Chains A and B, each alone.
Chain A
Amino acid sequence: MDFDALTLSRLQFALTVMFHYLFPPLTIGLGGLMVSLEAMYLKTGDRQYEQAARFWTKIFAVNFAMGVATGIVMEFQFGTNWSTYSRFVGDVFGSALAAEGIFAFFLESGFLAVLVFGWDRVSPKMHFFAACMVALGAVFSSIWIVVANSWQQTPAGFHLVGEGTAMRAEITDFWAMVFNPSSVHRLLHVLIGCYILAAFFVMSISAYYLLRGRHVDFAKKSFGSALILATGMSLAALVQGDIQARKLKDTQPAKLAAMEAHFHTGTGGTPLYVFGLPDEEKQTVKYGLAIPKLLSLLVHGNTREPVAGLDRIPRSDWPPVAMTFHSFHLMVGLGFFFIAVSLLACFLWWRGTLFQTRWLLWVFVWSIPLPYLANQLGWVAAEVGRQPWVVYGLMRTTDGVSKVVSAPQTLGSIILFSLIYALLFAVFLYVLNDKIQHGPDPVTPGRPGGDAGPGGLAAVTGLRAGTGGASLTMPGDGPAPADSQSSN
């Protein structure tokens, strides 16, 4: 590989966007969970819901800070590394980013302050309202970003103006741009992915508490509601993913063919490879297991009509087949795994033995990287499958890079990003682990000591965020924290 400014800029974009996307899915998913917990608290007055909401809010806040810090990089990077692309799409793409800023970010970050710092400054109703606004802001944000990205996949509502290097896309129909052929499907898929991730995140931590015998009531409540969400959403992903893949045959046939490593159109029903090693040179799939006619059945709804293969696409317009194929297949495989473990857990829950089935709880504890992986792989399939285009059919990725940025400059920033992100990730995991080890603050009197113990960080000052001893609603009641809590 030639490490020119183009390759390095692509590498940097992949690195920074993948690192960034570790955080937003949890923000979106946990946002919904906090709203439902606070709604239950308002409805029932049960302090356990409030306790749970407080705990997940702390996790949410750490995650959100990482998302903001790494998100600014994304907005700057279109201009720094992809300025030719920015000139070409600014009229269309810039609008979506600006709308995200005005509609989503202000809402999210403003009310996040109330959510995190406002427990004892505003009424529970106002706090619930803030939770709703933060969750809504996170969804708005995903809408505009997916709209912008979907326009790159299936451009619509624009016309081209100018010649040669001065050519650019201009909006002709704003709503056609927003509701371009892929935006709604892709948005749904992204949101489903976020909710699966958040549900497995919550189940992982809750299962850990159950296995350790800590915060048992809290853990059962959290696990149960997350399990319902996980089951519903992983089944939804299957149905919705199928609809979305079927759309691809019309909108991005090259991507569909690459995802399935389908080289030759042939005649009759097209088989579907469950796994295999695509060989782009020889245009075959090695060591593959294929189910006859299945791809035709999924795409066309019959077993006779062939699906268009890569042979219908000019060789210069092929996406990298192996990477698209593997990332897509691995994502689908993980999706089936999520369905399987969720349904199994639901069955055992119904039988009343779920919380005694320790091996399954351990599976949930260790499953936490998998939904992250699935979300990342989905984006890899989507973005690599769009290549060699940065805007499908309109602009090649090779033409979008900044002209004045040199390879050494980009190499320097990649090295710095790598170092900083590695440090941040280590610190993030450390802080997250600290919060998980500490667990939720107790609701009932007489338990604070037991809860603060495992984290090894007893309340030295009584002030430190997250220590067990201090009162939640009356700071300064120091000497008798447990009593002050029970009086609420």
Chain B
Amino acid sequence: MDLNLFWFVLLGVLLAGYAILDGFDLGVGILHPFVRTDAERRILMNSIGPLWDGNEVWLVTFGGALFAAFPEVYATVFSGFYTPFMALLFALIFRAVSMEFRSKRESPAWRRFWDWSFFGGSALATFLFGVAVGNAMQGMPIGPDREFQGGTLDLVRPYPLLIGALAVATFALHGSLYLHLKTEGELQQRVHRWNWRAFGIFLVLYLFVTIYTLVQIPLATRNFERQPWVWIVVALNILAVGNIPRAIYRGRPLAAFFSSCATIAALTFFFGVALFPELVHSSLNPAWSLDVYNAASSQKTLAIMRNIAFLGMPFVLAYTAVIFWVFRGKVKIGHFSY
């Protein structure tokens, strides 16, 4: 198999894994202000308590794999997106430690501070992921020297902002469906109402983004003509989105959650299809774009890394399964909780 293509696909898998897994815990963070009592806030935090850290490792591994497989892309994007990436780091730091520290003191002011930093960190990180995806879809001013030729404000455009909003809505929906699985009683009934509202907001944005992309982002659709089989994924995506309200209505929260997992996987897939074979599209001159061949590491390194991935990924999937199995079921606040 073409190693460059293999790494493009594997990065897609890591990104989808990250979006699905960290997506629900970021979503729980976005929904955090909507519960009022201290006990309920602790339930929300503890629903993701044992899991968020492992979920975030998917991002770290995605970053490491991007560095190893496509160092030019890693270097161009990370330095070009300097200010948004710093904001992302602050968001992730605050989010991580606010969970760790929040319940360590009884003081309401203390808890309020960490509650808001948990919400703010989750919402900002999600939004910035969306903005980054939107910018990648639309193309960026990349010069012949492979350096970003613009300022931070060049990244603030309507389409990336719209994708940022869609990301927040998607993760909020995903998080609310996850919470439905982890809560019970009166709180669960409220979460059930959130499911509907979050789905409504998601659907409106999803349709709007789809139309906007078809009309305004010609890059995104070029591969659909060349590779007609991707229409199968479009059909599956529509089914998955449609199955979310059906499953909520029928009281099958697990099916609803898996449908939103499938939706996120499909959206990540479309992102990959829109980019391929490029990773960073130059809006100045298409010849200056970074693609899976001109931005990659050597074939030898890609082969070594493939072997490392084949060796490591089965373990990763096994741990992930074990951890989710150990922490299945409803949240119980106990001695070891946050």
A residues contacting B by CB (< 8 A) are 61-62, 65-66, 68-73, 75-76, 78-81, 83-84, 86-87, 89-95, 97-103, 105-107, 109-114, 116-122, 161, 165, 168, 170-172, 174, 402-405, 409, 412-413, 416, 420, 424, 427, 431, 434, 457, 460, 463-466, 470-472, 475
B67 contacts which of A98, A113, A122, A171 (Cβ < 8 Å)?
A98
Contact A470/B335 with A121-B326, A404-B79 known, Cβ cut-off 8 Å: yes
Q: Is A465's CB under 8 angstroms from B335's CB?
A: yes
Are B79 and A405 neighbours in the complex by a CB distance under 8 Å?
A: yes
Contact A109-B71, Cβ < 8 Å, known A69-B93, A98-B305, A404-B80: no
Q: How many A-B residue pairs have CB under 8 A?
A: 253
The number of chain B residues with a CB under 8 A from chain A is: 76
B338 touches A94 (CB 8 A): no
Q: Does B316 contact A (CB under 8 A)?
A: yes
- Taken together as a complex, chains A and B put the C-alpha atoms of A397 and B291 apart, in Å, by 28
B316 touches A106 (CB 8 A): yes
The answer to whether A90 and B89 have CB atoms under 8 Å apart is no
Give CA–CA (A131, B99) in the complex, Å.
Answer: 22
B309 touches A102 (CB 8 A): yes
**Nearest-CB residue, chain A, relative to B100:** A65
B75 nearest in chain A by CB position: A83
On chain A, the residues within 8 Å of B65 by CB distance are 98, 101
The 3 closest A-B pairs by CB, nearest first: A90-B71, A79-B78, A94-B68
B53 near A83: Cβ-Cβ < 8 Å: no
Would A464 and B301 be within 8 Å (CB), given that A79-B67, A113-B53 are in contact? no
Whether B224 is near chain A, meaning CB under 8 Å from some CB there, is no
Name the residue of chain A whose CB is nearest to the CB of B89: A73
| B187 on interface, CB distance cutoff 8 Å | no
A76 touches B100 (CB 8 A): no
Quote the shortest CB–CB distance from A12 to chain B (angstroms): 10
Prevailing SS type, chain A contact patch: helix
B332 contact set on A, CB distance < 8 A: 475
**B287 beta carbon closer than 8 Å to chain A:** no
B56-83 CB contacts (< 8 Å) to partner A? 56-57, 59-61, 63-65, 67-72, 74-83
Question: Is A70 touching B93 in the complex (CB atoms < 8 A)?
Answer: yes
B103 interface residue (CB < 8 Å to A): yes
CB distance from A239 to the nearest CB of B (A): 34
16 A-B residue pairs with Cβ-Cβ distance under 8 Å, sorted by A, are A73-B93, A79-B75, A80-B82, A83-B79, A86-B71, A91-B68, A91-B301, A94-B64, A95-B301, A95-B308, A98-B61, A106-B312, A404-B82, A404-B147, A412-B83, A464-B103
Which residues of chain B have C-beta atoms less than 8 A from A114's C-beta?
Answer: 50, 323, 326
Contacts of B236 in A (CB 8 A): none
The smallest beta-carbon distance between A127 and chain B, in angstroms, is: 11
| Most interface-central of B57, B104, B335 (chain A CB within 10 A) | B335
Distance in angstroms between the alpha carbons of A61 and B100 in the assembled complex = 9
* Residues in B neighbouring A68, C-beta threshold 8 A: 53, 56, 96
CB-contact partner of B57 in A89, A105, A122, under 8 A:
A105
Contacts of A460 in B (CB 8 A): 106
Name the residue in B63, B83, B94 with the highest tally of chain A Cβ atoms < 10 Å from its Cβ: B63
Contact A171 to B104, CB < 8 A, known contacts A90-B67, A122-B326, A413-B86:
no
- In angstroms, Cα B64 to Cα A106, docked, is 13
Contact: B85 with A102, CB < 8 Å?
Answer: no
Min C-beta distance of A358 to chain B, whole Å: 31
B323 to chain A, nearest CB (A): 5
Q: Are B75 and A76 in contact (CB under 8 A)?
A: no
- Cβ-defined contact, B53 with A109, below 8 A: yes
- Considering the complex, give the chain B residue whose CB is closest to the CB of A469: B335
Is the Cβ of B85 less than 8 Å from the Cβ of A83? no
Task: Quote the shortest CB–CB distance from B27 to chain A (angstroms).
Answer: 19
Are the C-beta atoms of B300 and A424 separated by less than 8 Å?
no
Q: Does B238 contact A (CB under 8 A)?
A: no
